[in-house]
Structure 1
Amino acid sequence: MIESKRRPWVRGLPVLGSIWLVGAIGDRLWFTLDHSIPNWDQADYLTGVLNYWQALQTPQWFSGDWWTHLWQLSSKIPPLVYITTAPFIGLFGAGADQSTLVNLFFSALLLGSVYTIGVCLFTLPVACWAAGLCLLMPGLYRVRLDFLLDFPLTSLVTLCFTCLTVWRETGKGERLKDEGLRRKEPPNFTLYPLAFSLSDWLLATAIGITLGLALMVKQPALLFLVVPLVWAGIETIWQHSWIRLLQLVLAVCLSTLIWVPWYRTNWLLMLSATKRATIDSAIAEHDPSLLSLDAWTYYLKVLPEMISLPLLVLPLVGFLFFWRRSRVSSQCLGEADFGPKTKNYRQQVYGASRAALIWLFVYCIGGYLLSSLNVNKDDRYVVPYLPIVALLLAYGLTLLPRRWKLLQWGTIGLALVLMFNNLVALPLGSTPTQKSFSQHFAYTGEGYPHAQVIASVIQAQPYLRSTIGVLPSTGQINQHNINYYGNLQNFRVYGRQVGTRKSQVEQDARSVSWFLTKTNDQGSIRQQEAQAALVKTVEQGTDFTLHKTWALPDRSTLKLFRRSIPLLEVAPVVGSGQLAISGQRSAVSSQNSKLFYTPPITLDQVIVPDRVPPGQPIPVTYRWSGDWQSLQSGLVLLTWHKQGQPAGRWVHDHGIGMGLLHPKVLPGSKASRFQVVERLAMLPPQDAAAGTYTLEATYLDRQTGKTAAIATPSVSLRLDAKATANPAPELDLATQLRTLSTALPKGGKDLTAAFDQIGRINQYDPTQDYADQVRQATAYRLAQEPKNREFAYTLVLANVLKRRVGDAIASLQQVVQLDAQNPYAYGYLAFINLYDFRAQAAQAALRSGFKLNAKLPELYALSGVAALMQGKPIQAWQQFQQFERLEKQTN
């Protein structure tokens, strides 16, 4: 009997497959026509795919550090879509169109899920109609034809809801059997066959897995699934189905095994990103307040456009017929048996339909209300309830009289025409302006020069990782798509938006070697004054020269500027040739110097001024040479010692080429040795004693940890408070980080200002390799001088920036020993322990901090979090109250 009841579900699979195939062919034809450039979000997500694809080339499945690194590749958005897309670009090549092939997989999941719910709750025709409507709804095809997270989110949320629905209906079937109710055809038609063939525990496992996967796509998955899950849980309690309640609880617990590792690693950055994406974006976009009616009717107003008006009107007429028939059947209900043609049976059918409709409305209304609670409104945020809306509309279509069948197909035909009109603009060759969410025209106009921009930079600097400061921010020219096209070329070029603060314009101009500017429309620039100032500095100043220009389809001009005197130069060594560099004073190293170890590189030349004042940046030029691997993986530990006083010094540790040497030499290079010229600035302490300083250098291999002394040229400089400061480049990022670490012992506003500057310099090195350079170099120095408090604080900051939690805790434990009377040190230790969910260890550190300063507001805030993590809400509330009081007194 069960086998016969499974046939309706199986019988419709050819129809379902045909629907998917038609949609797949249509989608790929659209992508063939479309020549557009990925927008802000699309380009950002595509870059995430490249990052994960690169990481998965060399997996280390049993390494905890590798998994931590994998999760940290995407610190704000869960990475499931990136991971699932990686095989597609591995098979079909890296590119925007190739990456969208993953949507064919998610489309199959979505259509199969909707089809299964249709068979489960209604009939086979409803299931097939619903799958077809999912192809025709503007709200769904709009996100299906983009590389966004919304379509995969919709697919997996619907899949989870499908598993929950089948599990729930299985329980109903079991109860009917226990009650001895026998019907020739169950009220909910063909579902029970499907449900009875599956174990309740297997379905509960599927709920847990799909819930975990949905949360690994995007956090809003919970907005659509929490209400149905709670509803199902309440039903099991009401029915005293304790075994099924246990199944549901275990399903939720199972999901944590999937989503907890990523969320645990990135929870703090995720929360800050969520705040920017919701509250900050809502303010910037002037979204309605939650206290207004517009906030709660926003998605209702856009629903007809997301569904398509023809697909909305006719099913509503069908529901009018349903309402009328159900009332008639209710009035005519008698004592007849439950035969398939009796009014009693018809009333049972309508009752089962109402129960199914209530369940679907629970999902839709719950998702609508929770999405409306989000202050940031966007049409695509509610796409996950559209497949269930499609089910409701499909059921409405089947309720129409049979003589209206021609009208049904006519409505589908009209929806097809509207879809074509929204996706393809005729005549081809231009793309009109999109006026609504449902429109997503294929761009058939002239191409954009992103690939040529990247090629120009690589040709000019073939051995370096380059960063382009992107000053416009339009849909076609922005930091994200420049970054994406640069990453497509083996991660040789990165794009970043600079010029966002007027106070940082000068630092931006001195720190970035490439800039892109654009005439006419500048796009969505929030700080227009700052951006205009930086454009003027680049285009009209003497530090940059125009490298190349391109004409854009919108009749504007794209300009690529390059720094006139490069901060870094790399060239193969041919014979005894050297790169020409100019300076005030130079010295060439002696090749006959006696070394304890043979270094793999040489320091060929150093240029410094004769006399400089302390506390001011000093221009310095280093020329290094060696084989590519040694240069690329090398750190140089540079110490400028005062003659006769080894204690008087400053350090200038950094990676060779500031860590910007690309791991791979361009194909075709035959050189065995290369030369690197660095034009940098170093910073002696303000209290450095006057006198003559000389250089001592050590090579540290970043891969092996091996060190070797480097012969240094006979070079010296004199510190003199009366000397005039020399013009110098911007301090290198490693030096800036070491300088900023001095704010840690001070805490408070000094720490806030330091992290504000770190956010700025992170833009200049998109991989944040400078923090790794400082971390490795400082760890080596601290091992040599374990009581050096300055090194200890620097190592803490570097570990925190690289999110090496275990190392950060270890370095902070060393800090609290070296700086035992500083309450901030204990606060930092408590914070990192809280970040790692070690509330008791955090509370122990805070007790030491309170003994030193019981009026420090930050300690009370951390104590409140620690209490909350330990399940002590009253104590947490008391600590937060004390924090607010002290904050008011401080301000």
Structure 2
Amino acid sequence: MRRARGRDGWILLGLWLAGVLLDVLWLQRHAQPPAWDQGEHLSRALGVWQVLAEAAPFDPLWWQRLWAETPTYRGPFTYLVTAPVFSLLGPGYGSAILSNSLFQALLLGSLYGLERLAHGRAAGLWAAFLCAVAPALLNQRSDYLIDFSLTAVLTATWWLLTVRVLGRPRRPWLWSLGGGLGLGAVVLTRPTGLVMLWLPLLALAWRAIAPLLRRGRPGPRARFGRLAEGLLAAAAATAVAWPWWSQNWLTILSTVNKARQWGVLYQDGLEANTLAGWLFYPRLLPTMAGAALVAVVVAGGSLSWWRHRRIPAGPLAWRGLAWWLSFPLGALLLATLMSTKDFRFVLPLVPQLCLGLGVVLASATGRWTPVWRLAVVAIGIWGALASQFALAANPTAFPPRPPVAGPPWPLEAIVATIRQRSPHQLSTLAVLPDSQGLNAFNLDAEGRRQEFRVAARQTVAPVDQLDGDLAGFDWFLLKGGDQGVMSDERQAALDDLVRRSPAFQAAGRWPLPDGSSAELFERRTLGLEVLPVACRPERDLALDLAVEPPSPLRPGSEVVLVSRLRGPAAELRDGLLLLDWRPQPVVPSGQVAARETPAWRHDRGIGQGMVRAAPTGCLEVRERLVLVVPAGLPVGSYRLRARALDRQGRPLALRSAPLTLTVAGGGAQEAQGTETQNMDTVAPPNRIDQLVELGRLLRAGDLDRLFRQVGQINQRDPQQIYLSQGERLLRARLQETGADPGEADLEDLYGLALAQALQRHADGAVDTLQRIVSLEPTNPHSLMALGFVQLYRFHPGQAQVALDAAARLDPGNRTLRTLRIVARGLRLDVAGTLALLR
């Protein structure tokens, strides 16, 4: 028996190595970049790889950073497996595809284990072979999506659960623990994958509860053993998935809903109330395993049964058969009921089909069966080669996916051009086209591959706010010809604005394989430039500031603040600047300034957090940012007071040249005329100023506008560094406040609470919001925000207190009503929930 197992292991290893060889040959002939979803997955994997390279497992902030790399329903498990492959083979699309080989090994081993339990060794080997040549699995194995890894993890979890239910193992607790860990891995791969196991999980729940309902007095082990094992499995699954889920559950649920809406709009739909909808997957599944292969196996199995007129050896009890069918039938029913249909939705059922075909191949008897089995092997190999390389007629009836050679797309050259111009900073590229070969997703992945120096983002500003995108990005990529499926009038209008704007110039042009060309535009004077300089004996920072146009300034206007800051790179990378313009002791009217607090400030992170130079040596950081002159500012002269802080909030030595700004009479309308005439002076906004403005929207309860603006800012700051910088800056400002905070301090508190909430720093956000509520107890919006954050922390009782108080102040708020329903539902308050639903 031991020798047989060893021989089976070598056969499985040979199957796996053959698959790896097939993938390598395919990759050598494939020259196309990743498409949309593939590019996003690759970008996420590279981000996880970067965080793992800086591993600090005993630091909670490191774990938060790791889980923040995957905030959507596409969990981190696939990327965690890909990261070591990047370290071994180098980061890139090909390495990501080859990481599927690890999941292939898991899939083959799990399927072999399942088949041995169902029938025997021979059936296990046949099932593994059929799985290795299934065209749908080959299709996904030579791509980088989550569906193949989910298939492998689901199959492995199904094997662990099945051994515990049907295998009578010596250590049942260990297998229950393994099943729980597998369920946790499914959630970490894609939480929606767990619903495919809804019927087996329901059966397991009944299996655990049923002994408690039996009459008589069985022993404690017989009565509570299964329930205890189920609780152990649930605890293991929770321990694996909870850290990621608890941090990202809100965005996971929202992206699941967004994906559902996208599928309804852009994917084929066959409703479950039609015959075509019910027959779609039963017709598709045989082609996913290879139509000719399935037909030959079924024909041979039917012939063997007809000649012997008996069920194959090893009949299964009806309970065992019900268990074996619970996963495939439950998942098939669920997929059929969905309005959108795609072969990837039922990919985990292909190994289950191979399981049944393996039993047929192993149990058939007759003198003709060796030839029949040899024909199965030949057809399987033929189908695999036809699917992956289109070498001959395709016997599978499944669409082939041969490698695409042709001329390469210039992603690497586009990113390299930006890096050459700005090598010491993170540059954000606004990508207007959305074609399969050229889009924001694959360009962002390429930017991460090239030392994480370029981030690519789509633009999201509405057509009436395109000036914000024009000011917010230094780099734009345009394309001629077909723009892709998501193109619209907004994109065309922004394309025209960039081409006509005197603030931008062409930086590169590349011909594309589709016959069009890609054009890269850069701002003539970049909003941020980072240059290496020689270090001086003095190690302090030196700051020079100027404004364009020069004084006098108009209240309510916007000017460009030009800064040059020199100093050690280690301090500039994470440093903060606090700039105050204080009124002179005597204003021109002769009146003495009434207050000593700064009348005007312009706080920001150095380089807005985009400096990416090595910590050694010295740098000069040149920035051009919008400086907003507050409306209603009294006329007079204002002298600069500049301070710098390090990452921990400690002061840094800073020398700044004196700068006095004069505010003259007049309004913003006069200043706007000058700005319109000088479009080339357009500069990016200060994102800390924008954060404070977002806090004002939170205070006013204008949530729709708030989240629209957050989405636009997040595109321009791809790592949302403004949130962490804003939190540090606002904390520093609030520490300067006395015991009696003023109106400006209350606005700072709202900005701080928003920054903490958007970073998922829930505990800090609760503390800040509680302080706000104590200062402004009659504002329902702060109470609603507090209740929402408490719900995020899974504290429904505390959330209900805040939300009920908000409802007394604003009883007609529909969003508030929804949150109250959720709070009562989490507390299992059925009566209260139903009362609010009426």
Which residue in the other structure is 2:219 paired with? none
1:126-183: CA deviation from partner (whole Å, max 9, x where unpaired): 1111000011111111111112111111111101111111111234xxxxxxxxxxxx
2:530 corresponds to which of 549, 567, 570: 570
Which residue in the other structure is 1:771 paired with? 723
- Does the residue aligned with 2:145 lie in a helix, a strand or coil? coil
Residues 232 and 796 of structure 1: CA distance in aligned 2, closer, same or farther (over 3 Å): closer
Per-residue deviation, 1:425: 4.5
Which residue in the other structure is 2:172 paired with? 200
1:477-501: CA deviation from partner (whole Å, max 9, x where unpaired): 1111111111112210011111663
- Does the residue aligned with 1:22 lie in a helix, a strand or coil? helix
**Equivalences for residues 580-659 of structure 1 within 5 A:** 600-608=540-548, 609-644=550-585, 645=593, 646-647=596-597, 649-659=599-609
Which residue in the other structure is 2:478 paired with? 517
**Equivalences for residues 306-385 of structure 1 within 5 A:** 306-321=288-303, 324=306, 328-329=309-310, 349=313, 351-352=315-316, 357-385=321-349
Confirm or deny that 1:28 pairs with 2:24: yes
Confirm or deny that 1:760 pairs with 2:712: yes
CA contact (8 A) 1:682 1:735 kept: no
Take 2:792 and 2:101, find their aligned partners in 1: how far apart are those partners? Answer: 39
- Does the residue aligned with 1:523 lie in a helix, a strand or coil? coil
Per-residue deviation, 1:678: 1.5
Matched residue type, 1:606: A
Matched residue type, 2:184: G
Which has the higher mean CA deviation after the structures are superposed, 109-118 or 493-502?
Answer: 493-502
Take 1:156 and 1:144, find their aligned partners in 2: how far apart are those partners? Answer: 14
**Equivalences for residues 716-727 of structure 1 within 5 A:** 716-722=661-667, 724-725=670-671, 726-727=674-675
Per-residue deviation, 1:664: 2.5
Matched residue type, 1:265: Q
- Does the residue aligned with 1:607 lie in a helix, a strand or coil? strand
Take 2:709 and 2:685, find their aligned partners in 1: how far apart are those partners? Answer: 13
Matched residue type, 1:386: V
Number of matched pairs: 801
- Does the residue aligned with 1:38 lie in a helix, a strand or coil? coil
Take 1:142 and 1:840, find their aligned partners in 2: how far apart are those partners? Answer: 49
2:49 corresponds to which of 49, 53, 64: 53
1:815 corresponds to which of 733, 751, 772: 772
Matched residue type, 1:19: L
- Does the residue aligned with 1:220 lie in a helix, a strand or coil? helix
Which residue in the other structure is 1:679 paired with? 624
Residues 141 and 662 of structure 1: CA distance in aligned 2, closer, same or farther (over 3 Å): same
Which has the higher mean CA deviation after the structures are superposed, 466-475 or 701-710?
Answer: 701-710
1:732 corresponds to which of 661, 680, 686: 686
Per-residue deviation, 1:353: 7.5
**Equivalences for residues 667-706 of structure 1 within 5 A:** 672-703=617-648, 705-706=650-651
CA contact (8 A) 1:623 1:678 kept: yes
1:39 corresponds to which of 20, 27, 35: 35
Take 2:655 and 2:270, find their aligned partners in 1: how far apart are those partners? Answer: 64
CA contact (8 A) 1:425 1:442 kept: no
CA contact (8 A) 2:636 2:663 kept: yes
State the TM-score, normalized to the length of structure 2: 0.90
Matched residue type, 1:446: P
Matched residue type, 1:625: R
Question: Unaligned stretches of 5+ in structure 1?
Answer: 172-194, 330-345, 577-590, 592-597, 882-891
Per-residue deviation, 1:107: 0.9
Which has the higher mean CA deviation after the structures are superposed, 309-318 or 75-84?
Answer: 309-318
Matched residue type, 1:201: W
CA contact (8 A) 1:311 1:393 kept: no
Take 1:811 and 1:236, find their aligned partners in 2: how far apart are those partners? Answer: 45
**Equivalences for residues 383-422 of structure 1 within 5 A:** 383-402=347-366, 403-422=368-387
CA contact (8 A) 1:612 1:718 kept: yes
- Does the residue aligned with 2:176 lie in a helix, a strand or coil? helix
Take 1:674 and 1:449, find their aligned partners in 2: how far apart are those partners? Answer: 31
**Equivalences for residues 108-119 of structure 1 within 5 A:** 108-119=105-116
**Equivalences for residues 151-170 of structure 1 within 5 A:** 151-170=148-167
CA contact (8 A) 1:606 1:713 kept: no
CA contact (8 A) 1:310 1:411 kept: no
Residues 438 and 721 of structure 1: CA distance in aligned 2, closer, same or farther (over 3 Å): same
1:554 corresponds to which of 482, 506, 514: 514
Residues 294 and 279 of structure 1: CA distance in aligned 2, closer, same or farther (over 3 Å): farther
State the TM-score, normalized to the length of structure 1: 0.85
Which residue in the other structure is 2:678 paired with? none
1:467 corresponds to which of 403, 423, 428: 428
1:871 corresponds to which of 807, 811, 828: 828
CA contact (8 A) 1:500 1:531 kept: no
- Does the residue aligned with 1:445 lie in a helix, a strand or coil? coil
Take 1:64 and 1:620, find their aligned partners in 2: how far apart are those partners? Answer: 38
Take 2:599 and 2:246, find their aligned partners in 1: how far apart are those partners? Answer: 42
Which residue in the other structure is 1:713 paired with? 658
2:459 corresponds to which of 484, 498, 503: 498
CA contact (8 A) 1:121 1:356 kept: no
Take 2:438 and 2:314, find their aligned partners in 1: how far apart are those partners? Answer: 56
Residues 689 and 98 of structure 1: CA distance in aligned 2, closer, same or farther (over 3 Å): same
Question: Unaligned stretches of 5+ in structure 2?
Answer: 215-221, 586-592, 676-681
1:593-635: CA deviation from partner (whole Å, max 9, x where unpaired): xxxxx98311123224323332232222122221222222211
**Equivalences for residues 431-442 of structure 1 within 5 A:** 438-442=399-403
Residues 396 and 572 of structure 1: CA distance in aligned 2, closer, same or farther (over 3 Å): same
2:610 corresponds to which of 660, 663, 671: 660
Per-residue deviation, 1:781: 0.2
Residues 751 and 826 of structure 1: CA distance in aligned 2, closer, same or farther (over 3 Å): same
CA contact (8 A) 1:80 1:217 kept: yes
CA contact (8 A) 1:816 1:826 kept: yes
**Equivalences for residues 105-184 of structure 1 within 5 A:** 105-171=102-168
Per-residue deviation, 1:468: 0.8
Which has the higher mean CA deviation after the structures are superposed, 807-816 or 367-376?
Answer: 367-376
- Does the residue aligned with 2:232 lie in a helix, a strand or coil? helix
> What percent of counterpart residues are identical?
31
Per-residue deviation, 1:401: 4.1
Which residue in the other structure is 2:698 paired with? 744
Per-residue deviation, 1:320: 3.0
2:760 corresponds to which of 803, 815, 819: 803
Take 1:851 and 1:356, find their aligned partners in 2: how far apart are those partners? Answer: 57
1:676-702: CA deviation from partner (whole Å, max 9, x where unpaired): 221111223333333332322111112
